[in-house]
Amino acid sequence: MRRNDPKNVQKMEVPPKEAQKAEKVREKVGEPSFAEIVAAKMKAAAAIALGLGIFLALFWAFTRPAEASEPQYQLFLPLVQLQQAQADVGIQVHLEKFPIHVGDTVTLTVTTHNFGPQTVGVVNLDYVTNGQFTTPLLSQVGPLANGEGVEFRIAVNVIRGPLNVYIGAEGDLYDPNRTNNLDGISAPVEP
């Protein structure tokens, strides 16, 4: 005889008295009906939807730009707006001599200016030319406070024409106006 043979399994009958006791326990504990389970889940979903709706309404109310006629309200802790430090660095390049001939040494006046709003610590300068620089080049200027500028001169030996000199300025802070970060000259050269 095998141990787990289904033919040899005996059915165990629960005495009627025990079955009645189990039924009474189920009645006391009160197993919920299907309708009660669905109703409880609907209530939970409604509470979550209501909470999310209130959160979104408050978020919208406190983060959108207010109209001029609306009063400004703040929550218990004001919403934090991170503002990046910024400084608008600009550069201008001027050529002081015309006409230019091959073999001339020309002087360029370079002005670097901080248009603000904050102080820039370092302004890195990059140079590009088809001539030959004959003076030492500044690679950095600064610090420059809001409204402050630096003017310096560089000399370029003209090898061939046209003479092209471009100088770029890049500050160590975010620059909201990058249109004034590069300037230069392109001038015709006479033989």
79 or 145, which is more confident: 145
101 with 70, same domain: the answer is no
Residues 108 and 180 in one domain: yes
Could you report the per-residue pLDDT of 40-66, keeping only the tens digit for each?
888 888 888 888 888 887 777 667 665
Q: Please check whether residues 59 and 100 belong to one and the same domain.
A: no
Q: Are residues 21 and 67 in the same domain?
A: yes
Rounded to 5°, the CA angle 134-142-168 comes to: 55
Tens of pLDDT, residue by residue over 81-135, are 557 788 999 999 998 877 888 888 888 899 999 998 999 988 888 888 887 777 7
Domain that residue 57 falls in? 14-81
Residues 105 and 27 in one domain: no
pLDDT for 156:
86
Considering the domain architecture, whether residues 123 and 68 belong to the same structural domain is answered as no
Q: Which of 29-43, 67-81, 163-177 has the lowest mean pLDDT?
A: 67-81
Q: What is the rounded distance in angstroms from the CA atom of residue 83 to the CA atom of residue 44?
A: 40
Residues in the chain: 191
Query: Rounded to whole angstroms, how far apart are CA atoms 65 and 144?
Result: 33
Domain boundary among 54, 81, 108: 81
* Residue 5 pLDDT class (50, 70, 90 cuts): low
pLDDT, greater one: 15 or 159: 159
Residue at a domain's end among 23, 51, 81:
81
Task: Give the CATH number, domain containing residue 145.
Answer: 2.60.40.10
Q: Are 105 and 65 found together in one domain?
A: no
Q: How far is CA 46 from CA 13, 54, 57, 174, in A?
A: 46, 12, 16, 46
Residues 72 and 121 in one domain: no
pTM of the model: 0.55
> Residues 77, 131: one domain?
no
pLDDT at 30 over 70: no
Q: Is residue 148 over pLDDT 70?
A: yes
Poorest-pLDDT segment among 3-12, 94-103, 114-123, 163-172: 3-12
2 inside domain: no
Number of domains in the chain: 2
Do 182 and 106 lie in one domain? The reply is yes
- For residue 76, pLDDT beyond 90: no
